[in-house]
């Protein structure tokens, strides 16, 4: 009975949003700007509560919570508010002489009702950043936060559902059952962030309605450390990017491929920075988060035994704590190297020739990110040309996703589609082509009965198209 009530209400919300979109209210740019401003002011109003919720869910430090979640989304809204009028204007394109007299342009129109499904690791950012794009482009949205970050899920539901009409934006909390039900309805766009396994389920469900999708998935993002590099900054930037949010970042360096010549010196530096950032006993550091739940904790602890512990290796199940851990001599055919790690464990593998590192990467599914540390531009170019990944950062980790002018997304197993900044607006807009002709000139040759010789037709098409 209870299930029947839930089903009814999800179905109702989907229907309400379809009807509201048909009212064409969201086509108006000033309406979109007004709603984005409202979202921004609500986020500011709830800022302290979200800092607390992110601490409750993942023990996120306030600095990390603001920089990577709340501040990140606010910056995205600010940029969108500044640029939306420009982005939304029809874009004129060249019209070949063949069409004389005519103009051609591309109109960005909203898809309609959208569904945004998010994971638990950045539970605020990964739900609200896609929403900014969806609203900017003039869509309605149903948001499905992750059930594994319950404090953030409850708070985001309160913030959205108490302040926006359900016919425009609405949060549906829940887990697998609710998501499956949502996916059984017709949406005009589905934006999913999560694992590759669930991405396949979402893709299949969307295909039944021919609904376009964005899939922001995961994978094993490699990090190559060349012998020619600034070793100190390299180690520092890798330690930061790996252990932020306790390693539970989709683009965290998953494993290191280091040139054999500098392996020992590199490991020494990494150990130095782990100590410098998190102290002698990292469990006491309030800059380190916690593992999301016991099932992920147990999975991660089982990985530790597939390598030789060089740094860390300690854990505490009650606290869901695992020390920043560095491994070498890893078993290459173990789950540690077969699955996405998604935790504070960093395997280090050495290579002799760069080609070996390239083959190692290309033997695995295409990753979401690739990191290259090298001061040799030939090495950098070669690595970029001979591998594939969603994105690349050279001489840093994670920071490529902070630049709103770089589209963020995967390729192959790591996803489909990319967003952030203008790319979010474009992703949530259908690009509608318009050819607008006048009645001034008629070209009789195109009509039946056809008289023109093929040789003449060729000449005309070569010249005029
Ligand atoms: P997940 O795939 O388990 O869950 C994501 C969402 O799908 C959740 O809202 C969940 O409720 C729902 N879901 C789970 N099982 C489902 C099912 N059987 N049917 C329908 N819906 C279902 O992912 P997660 O554990 O929350 O997040 C971790 C994964 O997300 C990692 O693989 C990580 O790399 C990836 N990720 C990717 C990005 C990115 O931007 N590309 C960002 C963060 C995380």
Per-residue pLDDT of the chain (465 residues; tens, 9 = 90+): 344 444 459 999 999 999 999 999 999 999 999 999 999 999 999 999 999 999 999 999 999 999 999 999 999 999 999 999 999 999 999 999 889 899 999 999 999 999 999 999 999 999 999 999 999 999 999 999 999 999 999 999 999 999 999 999 999 999 999 999 999 999 999 999 999 999 999 999 999 999 999 999 999 999 999 999 999 999 999 999 999 999 999 999 999 999 999 999 999 999 999 999 999 999 999 999 999 999 999 999 999 999 999 999 999 999 999 999 999 999 999 999 999 999 999 999 999 999 999 999 999 999 999 999 999 999 999 999 999 999 999 999 999 999 999 999 999 999 999 999 999 999 999 999 999 999 998 888 889 999 999 999 999 999 988
- Is the CB–ligand 1 distance for residue 344 below 6 Å? no
Q: How far is the CA of 193 from the centre of ligand 1 (A)?
A: 6
The gap from C-alpha 78 to its chain's centroid, in whole angstroms, comes to 19
Cα angle value 91/96/98 (rounded, 5°): 135
What is the spatial distance between Cα 398 and Cα 380, in angstroms, rounded to a whole number?
17
Is ligand 1 within 6 A of the CB of residue 120?
yes
Q: Is 214 in the pocket of ligand 1 (CB under 6 A)?
A: no
Tokens 């029947």 identify what position?
Answer: 4
Residue 320 contacts by C-beta under 8 Å, 6 or more apart in sequence? 290, 291, 292, 293, 294, 297
Ligand 1 centroid from CA 191, angstroms: 12
Does 449 sit behind a cis peptide bond, omega within 30 degrees of 0 on the bond before it? Answer: yes
**So what's the pLDDT on residue 5?**
42
Catalytic residue among 250, 314, 340, 443: 250
**pLDDT of 444:** 82
Cα–Cα dist 329/307, whole Å:
5
Q: In angstroms, how far is CA 8 from the centroid of its own chain?
A: 31
Atom of ligand 1 nearest to the CA of 145: 9
| CA 422 to centroid of ligand 1, rounded, Å | 24
96: left (phi over 0), alpha (psi -120 to 50) or beta: beta
Q: Are 223 and 192 in contact (CB under 8 A)?
A: no
> What are the CA-CA distances from residue 451 to residues 100, 447, 457, 459 (Å)?
21, 9, 10, 15
| Token pair in block for residue 273 | 């920075």
Residue nearest to atom 42 of ligand 1 (CA): 250
Q: How far is CA 2 from CA 9, 15, 181, in A?
A: 11, 20, 14
If you count them, how many residues does the chain have?
Answer: 465
Neighbours of 102 (CB within 10 A): 15
Residue whose CA lies nearest to ligand 1 atom number 13: 176
Enter the pTM of the model.
Answer: 0.96
Q: Report the separation in Å between the CA atom of 343 and the middle of ligand 1, taken as the mean of its atom positions.
A: 15
CA of 197 to the centre of ligand 1 (A): 8
How many angstroms separate the CA atoms of 387 and 129, rounded? 29
* Ramachandran class of 421: left when φ > 0, alpha when ψ lies in -120 to 50, beta otherwise: left
The reply to whether ligand 1 has any atom less than 6 angstroms from the CB of 411 is no
**DSSP letter (8 states) at residue 318:** T
Nearest atom in ligand 1 to 250's CA: 34
Regarding the beta carbon of 221 and ligand 1, being less than 6 Å apart is answered: no
CA of 198 to the centre of ligand 1 (A): 6
Q: How many CB atoms lie within 10 A of CB 46?
A: 19
* Whether 223 is catalytic: no
Which structure tokens are listed for 345?
């464990």
Determine the atom of ligand 1 nearest the C-alpha atom of 197: 2
d(CA 441, CA 457) in angstroms, rounded, equals 18
The verdict on the CB of residue 407 being under 6 Å from ligand 1 is no
CA–CA dist 60, 341 (Å, integer): 19
Q: Check if the beta carbon of residue 426 is closer than 8 Å to that of residue 86.
A: no
Q: Is 69 in the pocket of ligand 1 (CB under 6 A)?
A: no
Determine the distance separating the centroid of ligand 1 and the alpha carbon of 214, expressed in angstroms.
13
Closest ligand 1 atom number to CA of residue 390: 41
Phi and psi at residue 433, to the nearest 5°: -85, 135
Tell me if 293 CB under 6 Å of ligand 1. Answer: no
- pLDDT at position 8 is 54
In ligand 1, which atom is closest to the CA atom of 202? 20
> CB under 8 Å to 235, separation ≥6 — which residues?
266, 269, 270, 272, 273
Distance of alpha carbon 463 from its chain centroid, rounded? 44
């Amino acid at each position: 009975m209870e299930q029947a009530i839930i089903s009814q209400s999800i179905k109702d919300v989907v229907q309400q949003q379809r009807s509201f979109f048909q009212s064409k209210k969201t086509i108006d740019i000033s309406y979109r700007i007004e709603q984005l401003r409202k979202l921004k002011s609500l986020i500011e109003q709830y800022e302290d509560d979200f800092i607390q919720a992110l601490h409750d869910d993942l023990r996120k430090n306030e600095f990390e919570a603001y920089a990577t979640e709340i501040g990140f989304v606010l910056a995205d809204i600010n940029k969108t508010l500044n640029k939306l009028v420009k982005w939304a204007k029809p874009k004129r394109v060249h019209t070949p002489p063949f069409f004389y007299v005519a103009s051609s342009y591309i109109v960005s129109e909203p898809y309609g009702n959208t569904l945004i499904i998010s994971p638990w690791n950045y539970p605020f950012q990964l739900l609200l950043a896609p929403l900014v794009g969806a609203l900017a482009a003039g869509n309605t949205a149903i948001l499905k936060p992750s059930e594994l970050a319950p404090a953030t899920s409850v708070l985001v539901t309160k913030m959205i559902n108490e302040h926006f009409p359900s016919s425009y934006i609405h949060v549906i909390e829940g887990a697998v059952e609710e998501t499956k039900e949502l996916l059984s309805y017709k949406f005009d766009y589905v934006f999913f962030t999560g694992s590759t396994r669930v991405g396949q389920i979402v893709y299949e469900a969307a295909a039944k309605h021919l609904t376009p999708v964005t899939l922001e998935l995961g994978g094993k993002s490699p990090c190559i450390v060349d012998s020619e590099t600034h070793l100190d900054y390299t180690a520092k930037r890798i330690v930061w990017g790996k252990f932020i949010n306790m390693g539970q970042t989709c683009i965290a360096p998953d494993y290191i491929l280091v040139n054999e010549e500098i392996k020992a010196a590199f490991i020494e530096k990494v150990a130095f920075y782990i100590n410098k950032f998190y102290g002698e006993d990292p469990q006491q550091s309030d800059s380190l988060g916690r593992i999301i739940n016991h099932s992920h904790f147990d999975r991660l602890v089982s990985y530790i035994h597939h390598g030789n512990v060089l740094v860390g290796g300690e854990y505490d199940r009650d606290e869901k704590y695992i020390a920043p851990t560095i491994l070498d001599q890893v078993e290459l055919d173990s789950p540690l190297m077969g699955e996405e790690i998604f935790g504070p464990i960093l395997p280090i593998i050495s290579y002799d020739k760069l080609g070996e590192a390239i083959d190692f990467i290309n033997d695995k599914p295409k990753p979401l990110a690739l990191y290259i540390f090298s001061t040799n531009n030939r090495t950098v170019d070669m690595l970029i040309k001979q591998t594939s990944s969603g994105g690349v950062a050279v001489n840093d980790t994670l920071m490529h996703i902070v630049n709103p002018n770089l589209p963020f997304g995967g390729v192959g197993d790591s996803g489909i589609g990319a967003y952030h900044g203008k790319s979010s607006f474009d992703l949530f807009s259908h690009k509608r082509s318009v050819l607008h002709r006048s009645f001034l000139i008629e070209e009789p040759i195109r009509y039946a009965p056809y008289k023109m010789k093929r040789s003449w037709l060729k000449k005309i098409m070569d010249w005029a198209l």
